[in-house]
Amino acid sequence: MSPLVLLGLSWLLLAQPTLVPTAATNTTASGFMKSKPGCPLKCGDLTVPYPFGIGVGSGCSIGDFFEVNCNTSFNPPKAFISTGNLEILHISDSQLRIKNTVAYVCYNQSGGLDQSYTAWTDLADSPFTFSDTANKFTIIGCNDVALITPLQGQNFSSGCVSICTKMEDVFDRFCMGIGCCQTSIHKGLKVYKATFTFLEIANRSNVSTFNPCSYSFLGEEESFEFRGSTDLLDPDFIKRTEESVPLVLDWVIGNQNCTQAEKSNTLACQKNAPCIDSDIGYGGYLCSCKEGFQGNPYLTPGCQDINECNDSNLNDCAVNAICKNSPGSYDCSCPEGYYGDGTKYQGGCNIKEAAAEASQFPVIKFFLGLSFGLLGLFICATWLHFGFKRRKLIKLREKFFQQNGGHLLSVANVEPSKIFTAEELEKATSNFSADRVLGRGGYGVVYKGILPGNHLVAIKKSRIMDEGQIEQFINEVVILTQINHRNVVKLLGCCLETEVPLLVYEYVSNGTLLHHIHKSGISWLSWENRLRIASEVAGALAYLHSAASMPIIHRDIKSPNILLDDNYIAKVSDFGASRLMSLDQTQVSTLVQGTLGYLDPEYFRTSHLTEKSDVYSFGIVLIELLTGKRPICFERPQEERNLATYFIMSMKENRLFQILEHHVVREGSLEQLQTFAELVRRCLRMKGEERPTMKEVAMELEGLRKFTKHPWANHHQQYHQETMSLMSESSDLYAVPLSPYNASTAEISGPYSLGSNTIFPTNGPR
């Protein structure tokens, strides 16, 4: 039997054996590792401190969820959470480490599915959550996508893609998307399921010889070390991982915060043990001993004072000094006949007779000379201090300038429109106040800024700046300084003298196109406005491809990266992943980067980036405008999850009008919609060379716009009425539901998304 099914075996919940505490049970540890009086402390090799307790219904724990089932049928005995079959490996003052489980999928030599296993763990209604700081979701394998999703009640999902074509591509210890991929989880996650999803464009048969199976698991990051191709061929990978990589849980007491528990007289914290609120969002708290105290904070009499004077390693009193203990601290003093502060690091204690001999000097002259000397020294020190502080500030700003890519800008011969000072941008954002936040993403935050003259700007501030993000930052500056187009967000300047660089853009007030497409009750987003927005974005991309001084491939075209201004004019944003190409280049090889659902399959398969990759991504945006649906949604039926595939199949089966948004069907003519849909189909062709150029796409969209404004287009209303009449008949082609549109309840990104949906590696070659 596979070790993966151990999680589901109910025989692990055996009746509790009788455990007789020994005299040493409650005195083996002076700190947290103590059990309740009269209760056992050990289950095999595991120490079980209070508030946990061994025995179901024994009263040795603080509550049912903290009861530990000690199964003595194993040698040595094993401990399990009493409310489930999760084996406990270690207990600390805020975390549990439990036995892990690994999901897997295996393939035959031709690349077909052979067997698979879905891993899941349920902590619902318990005081335990999966630690978002200690755990990482990991996938091991080639050409596979693993997903971690909640089973119920939480709006959270994440995933990882691992790509490789030959064994030599995989390197030991590097988990960066080639043979191994890792991603973080959401804080407060209680229930999850780890699965694999079919990657349609991946070829499994090419890698089956050195990677017959792929694995995914949630586990402690520091306990797992990727062994490269050895892991891909190891038949014992599942067993070894489950034995060596635990799953870390955070635990809290109850579901009330400290104030609520104190008011209800249920607070478990004892004397000298302050209460600490949990930050996971479900309530609960922990107790911790004050500094200078030790013991179990949940057991009477609480935390006891540490006598630092009994251990020279705990105090800094000199050898001949007197150490006096006090609650939570201690004091050092000199005995009679000595002077000094009594500490090791400040001279200790000195005999007073030596001081008397030293005082035979002329006292008045000595102190006058000393006073003038100290005054002069003070003046010099003050001058040196401010001079040093000024030089230090200058060097720090120079360091930040170089660290944030200033030398790369110089090498690239790029000068942003304006270099802002840190003080200007701090004042513009009220010192980066939380109420000025416009949007958050994986790499940072965008703030609304007000410059002198009430000039509104958007200020992009990175969270942490590593080498890969510096390259993205410089790339975006280089790209935007060469673009001057009304439908591209304008870069106003930057600031490099802060710890992380800041980019200053024109302020675009009406959010993202994604927000308006999927928000219910949007009255202005008519068919004519959808056509206009599509035409504006196409014109901007055609400009980037054909009219810029050097051709520019955006590489991440999607509706969250299209902003709308006060007049609902479209503006393309986020050029951090874009690439410049010389005039004689038609393609460039890069590490795949983009957003799931919008990514060009040919680029994903070959790593060859061309301008036709933007054409494919723009085609997905056109489908969003037509259907009002998201590109990828795992909540839809299987055949509808991939919107591009579903759209093409709907056209082939003559049921296109069944999936279009009702505003589009009601306002657009049959000829317009068919022409528009055919343009989308051409944009989504699998071979890039068969797709139209952005210039051709822009011309066709502009032609469709002129069609709506042409004098003879007044017949459209009559034609539309005829179409609606046909739709009321039983034809499959026109059977379009006319009920009001229900927008997705999924969270929509803010008006300035920072790439939190990008799941492919971004630190590779550009």
Q: Which residues are catalytic?
A: 556
Alpha helices (H) in 275-419, listed in sequence order: 352-358, 363-403, 406-411
Which pairing describes strands 53-54 and 67-71: parallel, antiparallel, or unpaired? Answer: parallel
Phi-psi region of 27 (alpha: psi -120 to 50; beta: other; left: phi over 0): alpha
Phi-psi region of 552 (alpha: psi -120 to 50; beta: other; left: phi over 0): beta
In terms of residues, how long is the chain?
A: 766
The amino acid present at 625, given as its one-letter code, is L
CA distance 141 to 185: 20
Of 595, 600, 616, 623, which is closest to residue 534 (Cα–Cα)?
623
Unique residue bearing structure tokens 């049959």: 670
CA distance 235 to 208: 14
Which value, to the nearest 10 degrees, does the dihedral of the CA atoms of residues 252, 258, 262, 264 take? -70
Q: Are 487 and 537 in contact (CB under 8 A)?
A: yes
Q: Are 321 and 312 in contact (CB under 8 A)?
A: no
Q: How many CB atoms lie within 10 A of CB 25?
A: 18
Unique residue bearing structure tokens 């030398």: 407
What are the structure tokens assigned to 389, written together?
A: 């502080």
Give the strand order in the sheet containing 444-451. Answer: 437-440, 444-451, 455-462, 502-506, 491-495
Which pairing describes strands 350-351 and 338-339: parallel, antiparallel, or unpaired? Answer: antiparallel
- CA distances 419 to 211, 292, 705, Å, are 51, 50, 41
Which value, to the nearest 10 degrees, does the dihedral of the CA atoms of residues 410, 414, 418, 421 take? -30
Unique residue bearing structure tokens 């000379």: 369
- CA distances 133 to 232, 278, 445, 514, 736, Å, are 27, 14, 21, 31, 48
- Residue 604 is inside which H or E element, if any? helix 601-606
DSSP string of 232-292, one letter each residue:
HH-TTHHHHHHHH-PEEEEE-BSSS-HHHHHHTT-----TT--EEE--SSS--EEE-PPTT
CA distance 183 to 161: 10
Q: Are 656 and 678 in contact (CB under 8 A)?
A: no
What are the structure tokens assigned to 445, written together?
A: 């935050």
Collapsed DSSP state (helix, strand, coil) of residue 293 = strand
What are the structure tokens assigned to 88, written together?
A: 């406990």
CA distance 518 to 522: 9
Collapsed DSSP state (helix, strand, coil) of residue 394 = helix
The amino acid present at 187, given as its one-letter code, is K
What are the structure tokens assigned to 33, written together?
A: 């590792």
Alpha helices (H) in 653-685, listed in sequence order: 662-667, 670-683
Eight-class DSSP state of 450: E
Provide CB contacts within 8 A for 191, sequence distance 6+: 120, 121, 122, 123, 124, 150, 151, 152, 153, 154
Burial of 435 (0-12, 13-18, 19+ CB in 10 A): exposed
What are the structure tokens assigned to 701, written together?
A: 């969209």
